[in-house]
A and B are shown apart, each in its own frame.
Chain A
Amino acid sequence: MDFSFISTIIFLPVVGAILIAFLPGLSPRMIKRLAALFTFVPFVLSIVLFCNFDLAPGAVGGIQFEEKLLWIPAINAHYHVGVDGLSLPLMLLMTFLGFLAVLISWKVDLRPREFFAWLLLLETSILGVFCSLDLLLFFLFWEIEVIPMYFLISIWGTGRKEYSAIKYVIYTLFGSSMMLAGILSLYFATGSLSMVDIAQEGLAMVQSVMPAAAIFFLLLTGFAVKLPVFPFHTWLPDAHTDAPTAVSVVLAGALLKMGGYGMIRVCVSIFPEVAWAYAPILIVLAVVNVLYGAAVTLRQTDLKRLIAYSSISHMGYVLLGIFALGGVSLVGATLQMFSHGVITGLLFAMAGLVMHNTGERGLRKLGGLVRQMPVIAVVFSVAGLASLGLPTTSGFAAEFLVYIGSYSSPVFEGIRFCTVLCVLGIVVTAGYILWMLQRVFYGPVREQFSGVADAGILERVYMFAFVAVIMLVGIYPAILTDVIKTGVMPVVGLLGG
């Protein structure tokens, strides 16, 4: 195909960001329209891409819509982008959330020019991570993301926003510095920066520089901070809680997935033997993530903090799915990333709306809102039920696949027990979700909330979009799993399973 789809999708938002930042005399209204335009077009284009994605058996495992240019000859780095079954759903997710994030931010009036410029730059960097097939390019996009996040949290956030922002930056940079060391070692072990080539040609040479396991863990640290994996998770509640709503949506929805995606694309694909050897440790960490995350969530009294901690628990399922190292579990993990992105995106959007309309976020102070905001209450409940994995929602499909996959996984003896423990996590999830819904929407009506507004037209539009995606994937998961399978098959081939 002549038209370079991927580059257009990646770079349209940043073009919008530059226009917004430097065109003189833009009114706030105009800025928002521009931002919406420059995120809507990539969204449409990625749908077009999704529809044109070749599912034929012959195309399995192939990178499609590939673009490759020599970038820095001296170190054999390429501008190499493309999508396969793993990255396409995540790219679609990001463009979807990117557009909705602009709609969610429609009421931002503080320094809108900078806000939307950073938001659009953030979208470009995350899209770049999902589409890069060259390690240097991947790392470049991975690092760029830090800057807009820092500004978005520290300027437009709430609470201890500056502390949270710098904490986020330091954690991320710590992880990515380990990753850089890993990438450099990998580069000199193989002489190549191409993820595809390295994965296919194997790692016979790695031993010469250092043990493959060391490189594996250097890289894994970077991804583990982002996912986040216990004990690297403590940045997450702070960042999520203090970030502005749209940023929480993107952060929980798409940014965490960079970690899971990286684990599959880099760690598991390039180091299958090491992954087999160390999977038990990571499975145990996954169980800790699920149960510890859920237990801590139960204790939260702040609406956003509660959702933030629930993300840690849900990302545990992704980790479980990935390191069960089977075809079904990997499909499940990828679907869980997509599904969690949409569900938690919606949860954060709803939480933001409740906070915006009532001016309150403490669960002890909210209550009885179902009368004032029935629409929000219904949608919030749908999102909550999806989050605890109710059938017909995407959450069910994804978690079910993860459980089936990991229960039958031959990774190690105890994995069945671990899976059962994770399934128990659902019970706790049901507990906190229902408790939260009850606290916010039911119970005695409170005087101070009598004049509180329900969702407006714009809000209903994006709420509908979220719910539609959740239900669509829940009822007909094959629409995504067929695509994901084409990406997972080659990984499974490398794993020898």
Chain B
Amino acid sequence: MNFWLFTPEISLAVFAIVVILLDLVVPRKGLLTLVSIAGIAVAAGFSVVMWGMSPQAIFSNMLAVDSFALFFKLLFLGIAALVILASTDYVSRFARFQGEYHALVLLSCLGMMLMAATMELISIYVALELTSISLYILVGFLKDARSSEASLKYLLLGAVASATLLYGMALVFGVTGETRLGEIAVVIQALAPDGVLANPALILGVVLMAAGFGFKIAAVPFHMWVPDVYEGAPTPVTAYLSVGSKAAGFAVILRVFYSAFGLPGWLSLDWGLVFAVLASIGMTLGNVAAIPQTNIKRMLGYSSIAQAGYIMVGLATVGLSSAADVAGRSGLIFFLTSYAFTNLGAFIAIIAISNKVASDRIGDYSGMGRRAPLLALALSLCLISLIGLPPAAGFMAKFYIFSGAVQHGLLWLVVVAVINSVISAYYYLRVVRVMWLGKPVSEERVPSSGALKLALVISCLGVLVLGIIPGYIIKLAEMAASMFVF
């Protein structure tokens, strides 16, 4: 076995431990940021070198090293890097354990990378738990009442979701006698339609697994934790949750459902339609619930439920299209990428503002256009991207993912989705309006540190580049979507 193929994960784990150890001996905590970024850069470097190789499987078919996994690894590393940059000021609020904070960000990133790469049920579960447990701790890092409540809520509901997932996996294993996705697919295809229908346990298993993953991606009806956790968690962690954990959830769903349950066609048609229905409910519920929110983190929490709905349009497309058709998968991957840049940008701006204002109430953003024009501009750009207006990434992402859906006869879903975009404009623009039209609460300027500015510039550039010249990233996404190991 080629051990070299596992180097991104190993290097990241090593750096996570180094960060904890360094924290003990180094008085200047700025170094921790640098070391974490360096760890991410090393892992990213290894991943980039592997890009374009023919796909292979390692550890006796447990981990895939294919373009799909590599694309997501790079995406997660990028997200983690931006989150760490955005945390530089924020971490000073934690009296202690800054080393652990950085290490946990790196470890959950490691978990996400594994989630995108595993092709075996048990290692999927382990990777998911690595991600989740790190995030449970991170959510409670502020140690005030809200943060602790959020953490506990996340932990309890997360545990239920894990149990559901595990139960589903057990049922699937019980019916098929396999834990490797490729082998599961072979067994299911061997069962005639009657055989599958005669095995309600298999269907139940698939449904329970979907429910367990649904928790990760904040799909309705497994979204209850989202607003509270988003509101209570430290803002950089909220940002991380909203993009990283969600993208990892979608990556693993895509791999499991596409590899294991992709054939026979009528089965994938079934779960495709289930996702289509969940998507339409999720979008509508998220958008409508976001309208009355007064806390911006809570509002973005509901908005992320809605965005998960849009992304599930891509999942539905994957279910309804033939295995050879990449449009649904690449649309989903491109959407996740642009959503990552967009939502990170929005949260970074919120972090910068909250560093000074110490409030997440939308009303306190009044007049931010005068107090911090560039921050307000960046936040406005990201919100416009979330609505799906050009020239921002959200426009292209929606266009691309919806075009796949129309192609496969989901016009009704696209109509629901575009009407939802109109509804969402109302609450996203409300924030924009408050920032540019409201009277400033005070005349004081809102400063931001260099690291935050850098992170913000990177995400805004990403939003604009993906919105105006998305050709190259779409090409990468198509490569990622087409090179799968079974």
Question: Residue on A with the closest CB to B389?
Answer: A143
Contacting residues, chain A, for B402 (C-beta < 8 A): 180-181, 184
Stretch from B79-87, B157-165, B269-277, B406-414 that touches the partner: B406-414
Stretch from A169-177, A344-352, A402-410, A477-485 that touches the partner: A169-177
Q: C-beta contact mask, B395-417 vs A, less than 8 Å → 1, else 0?
A: 11001101100110101001100
Known: A166-B426, A177-B419, A180-B418. A188 touches B407 (CB 8 A): yes
Contacting residues, chain B, for A169 (C-beta < 8 A): 425, 429
B389 touching A170, Cβ below 8 Å: no
Q: Does A394 contact B (CB under 8 A)?
A: no
A144 touching B414, Cβ below 8 Å: no
Contacting residues, chain A, for B470 (C-beta < 8 A): 72
Contact of B471 among A71, A144, A147, A151 (CB under 8 A): A71
Q: Does B287 contact A (CB under 8 A)?
A: no
Q: Does A421 contact B (CB under 8 A)?
A: no
A window 198-245: CB within 8 A of B: 209-210
Q: In the complex, A162→B434 CA distance in Å?
A: 11
A210 touching B411, Cβ below 8 Å: yes
Contact of B418 among A136, A166, A177, A187 (CB under 8 A): A177
* Interface size bracket, B side: 35 or more
Contacting residues, chain A, for B418 (C-beta < 8 A): 177-178, 180-181
Contacting residues, chain B, for A162 (C-beta < 8 A): 433, 437
Contact of A73 among B422, B432, B475 (CB under 8 A): B475
Q: Does A140 contact B (CB under 8 A)?
A: yes
Q: Does A130 contact B (CB under 8 A)?
A: no
Question: Residue on A with the closest CB to B384?
Answer: A147
Q: Does A51 contact B (CB under 8 A)?
A: no
Contact of B436 among A146, A155, A187 (CB under 8 A): A155
A177 touching B422, Cβ below 8 Å: yes
Q: Does B280 contact A (CB under 8 A)?
A: no
Q: In the complex, A151→B381 CA distance in Å?
A: 13
Q: Does B390 contact A (CB under 8 A)?
A: yes
A74 touching B425, Cβ below 8 Å: no
Q: How far is the CB of B317 from chain A (nearest CB, A)?
A: 12
Q: How far is the CB of B460 from chain A (nearest CB, A)?
A: 13
A155 touching B425, Cβ below 8 Å: no
Contact of B415 among A74, A136, A181 (CB under 8 A): A181
A180 touching B422, Cβ below 8 Å: no
Q: In the complex, A75→B470 CA distance in Å?
A: 11
- Size of the chain A interface, CB-CB below 8 angstroms: 34
Q: In the complex, A188→B414 CA distance in Å?
A: 14
Contacting residues, chain B, for A174 (C-beta < 8 A): 419, 422
Known: A72-B474, A75-B400, A177-B419. A140 touches B414 (CB 8 A): no
A184 touching B414, Cβ below 8 Å: yes
Contacting residues, chain A, for B422 (C-beta < 8 A): 170, 173-174, 177
Q: Does A466 contact B (CB under 8 A)?
A: no
Q: C-beta contact mask, B464-486 vs A, less than 8 Å → 1, else 0?
A: 00000111001100100000000
Contacting residues, chain A, for B396 (C-beta < 8 A): 72
Q: How far is the CB of A81 from chain B (nearest CB, A)?
A: 15
Q: Does B131 contact A (CB under 8 A)?
A: no
B391 touching A144, Cβ below 8 Å: yes
Q: C-beta contact mask, A113-147 vs B, less than 8 Å → 1, else 0?
A: 00000000000000000000000100111011011
Q: In the complex, A117→B391 CA distance in Å?
A: 16
Q: C-beta contact mask, B122-138 vs A, less than 8 Å → 1, else 0?
A: 00000000000000000
Q: Does A11 contact B (CB under 8 A)?
A: no
Q: Does A64 contact B (CB under 8 A)?
A: no
Contacting residues, chain A, for B391 (C-beta < 8 A): 140, 144
Q: Does A381 contact B (CB under 8 A)?
A: no
B425 touching A173, Cβ below 8 Å: yes
Q: Does A297 contact B (CB under 8 A)?
A: no
Contacting residues, chain B, for A70 (C-beta < 8 A): 471
Q: How far is the CB of A203 from chain B (nearest CB, A)?
A: 16
Q: Does B330 contact A (CB under 8 A)?
A: yes
B421 touching A185, Cβ below 8 Å: no
Contacting residues, chain A, for B387 (C-beta < 8 A): 173
Contacting residues, chain A, for B471 (C-beta < 8 A): 70-74
Q: How far is the CB of A13 from chain B (nearest CB, A)?
A: 14
Q: How far is the CB of A108 from chain B (nearest CB, A)?
A: 16
A177 touching B406, Cβ below 8 Å: no
Q: Does A154 contact B (CB under 8 A)?
A: yes
Q: In the complex, A210→B469 CA distance in Å?
A: 31
Question: Residue on A with the closest CB to B474?
Answer: A74
B436 touching A185, Cβ below 8 Å: no
B436 touching A74, Cβ below 8 Å: no
Contacting residues, chain B, for A173 (C-beta < 8 A): 387, 421-422, 425
Contacting residues, chain A, for B429 (C-beta < 8 A): 150, 166, 169
The 6 closest A-B pairs by CB, nearest first: A177-B418, A184-B406, A173-B422, A74-B474, A140-B390, A72-B471
Chain B residues engaging chain A, CB cutoff 8 angstroms: 330, 384, 387, 389-391, 395-396, 399-400, 402-403, 406-407, 409, 411, 414-415, 418-419, 421-422, 425-426, 429, 432-433, 436-437, 469-471, 474-475, 478
21 contacts between A and B (CB under 8 A): A72-B470, A73-B471, A74-B474, A75-B403, A140-B390, A143-B390, A144-B389, A154-B436, A155-B437, A162-B437, A166-B433, A177-B418, A177-B419, A180-B418, A181-B414, A181-B415, A184-B403, A185-B406, A185-B411, A188-B403, A188-B406
Chain A residues engaging chain B, CB cutoff 8 angstroms: 70-75, 136, 139-141, 143-144, 146-147, 150-151, 154-155, 162, 166, 169-170, 173-174, 177-178, 180-181, 184-185, 187-188, 209-210
* Sample of 11 further A-B pairs with CB below 8 A, known A147-B384, A180-B418, A184-B411: A72-B474, A75-B400, A140-B395, A150-B429, A162-B437, A170-B422, A177-B422, A181-B402, A181-B411, A185-B406, A209-B406
